[in-house]
């Protein structure tokens, strides 16, 4: 769906959409109120939304939605960029934008949409390995190869010792429940670490390869301190 109070802007978006095979323009709206009616009656996966519109601007419109489609803002005003990303916009196209810029933003939306479709019905696991769904495949991950797990909004990134990270649409909570608690510990809202891979700790920061430093947050410090105390040699 495209939402813009300027007819010429809607025409441009429609023309760009027609050139991209994986996009279908379901609706064109000149104001946020018409857009609300569309969302109530149709399945919309992606919105291109102008910010500076009369009555109800694009930011206010997006904030009013209880369930948001993927979102790309289109506007002539660069000062709204930070506010746009605060409402989880995938991209921010500054008018006048080229087809190349539009196509790049659309491909970003496509990647996010495909990732969101990869939600497995359940996470298969035991004490040695787990299977997760990623990029339309079931991937076996040996637990002893996991360095740490990073939560990133709708999905998680599993960092491994011998290969590139694997991303999947899972919650940190579901992983925490499945992983054996003798080997894995939640140390932060966004991190679960493999305790067997913890080799250096600096001021409650777990160091990996002298580059990545994972903070241990206040809510998890006591539990992590017990792990350190249990294994500390003076």
pLDDT digits (tens, 9 = 90+) for 208-224: 876 788 999 999 999 99
Q: Cβ(165)–Cβ(158) under 8 Å?
A: yes
- Token code pair at residue 44: 């919309």
pLDDT at 174: 85
**Residues 29, 74: one domain?**
yes
Q: Which residue has the tokens 């769904």?
A: 133
User: Which of 63, 87, 116 is the last residue before a domain boundary?
Assistant: 116
Q: How many CB atoms lie within 10 A of CB 193?
A: 24
Give the pLDDT score at 23: 95
> How many whole angstroms separate alpha carbon 137 and alpha carbon 76?
41
| Per-residue pLDDT, 111 | 85
What pLDDT does 6 receive?
A: 92
Say if residue 8 is in the same domain as residue 110. yes
Quick one: how many helices (H) and strands (E) in the chain?
A: 7, 16
User: Which pLDDT value is given to residue 38?
Assistant: 92
| Alpha-carbon distances, residue 208 vs 69, 147, 165 (angstroms) | 36, 9, 14
* Structural domain boundaries enclosing 141: 124-231
Q: Examine the domain organization and report whether 83 and 183 are in the same domain.
A: no
Contact 12, 95 (CB under 8 A): no
Domain count, the chain: 2
By C-alpha distance, which of 232, 146, 226, 139 is closest to 194? 146
112 and 8, same structural domain? yes
pLDDT for 159 = 93
List Cβ neighbours of 124 (8 Å cut-off, separation of 6 or more).
Answer: 130, 131
Give the CATH number, domain containing residue 15. Answer: 3.40.50.2300
pLDDT at 120: 47
* Peptide bond preceding 96 in cis form (omega within 30 of 0): yes
CATH number, domain of 131, equals: 2.40.50.1020
pLDDT at 85: 56
Q: What is the rounded distance in angstroms from the CA atom of residue 100 to the CA atom of residue 83? A: 24
Identify the domain boundary among 116, 138, 161: 116
pLDDT at 7: 93
The 8-class DSSP code of residue 207 comes to E
The predicted structure's pLDDT at residue 135: 66
- Supply the pLDDT for residue 55: 79
Decide: pTM greater than 0.75.
no
Over its C-alpha atoms, the chain yields an Rg (Å, rounded) of 22
pLDDT, one tens digit per residue, over 150-164 is: 998 778 899 998 888
From CA 129, how far away is CA 62, in angstroms rounded?
Answer: 41
Low-confidence ranges of the chain (pLDDT < 50): 120-121
Query: Residues 2-18: pLDDT tens digits?
Result: 999 999 999 999 999 99
């Amino acid at each position: 769906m495209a939402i813009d109070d300027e007819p010429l802007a809607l025409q441009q978006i429609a023309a760009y959409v027609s050139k991209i095979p994986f996009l279908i323009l379901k609706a064109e709206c000149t104001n946020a109120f018409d857009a609300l009616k569309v969302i109530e009656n149709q399945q919309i996966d992606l919105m291109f939304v102008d910010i500076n519109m009369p009555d109800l601007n694009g930011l206010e419109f997006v904030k009013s939605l209880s369930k948001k489609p993927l979102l790309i803002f289109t506007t002539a005003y660069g000062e709204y960029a930070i506010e746009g990303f605060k409402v989880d916009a995938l991209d921010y196209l500054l008018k006048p934008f080229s087809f190349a810029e539009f196509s790049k933003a659309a491909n970003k939306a496509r990647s996010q949409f495909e990732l969101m479709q990869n939600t497995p019905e359940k996470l298969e696991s035991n004490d040695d390995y787990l299977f997760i769904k990623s990029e339309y495949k079931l991937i076996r991950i040996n637990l002893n190869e996991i360095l740490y797990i990073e939560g990133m909004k709708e999905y998680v990134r599993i960092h491994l010792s011998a290969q590139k990270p694997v991303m999947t649409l899972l919650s940190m909570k579901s992983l925490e429940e499945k992983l054996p608690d003798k080997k894995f510990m939640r140390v932060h809202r966004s991190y679960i670490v493999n305790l067997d891979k913890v080799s250096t700790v600096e001021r409650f920061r777990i160091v990996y390869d002298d580059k990545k430093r994972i903070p241990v947050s206040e809510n998890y410090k006591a539990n992590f301190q017990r792990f350190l105390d249990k294994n500390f040699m003076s």
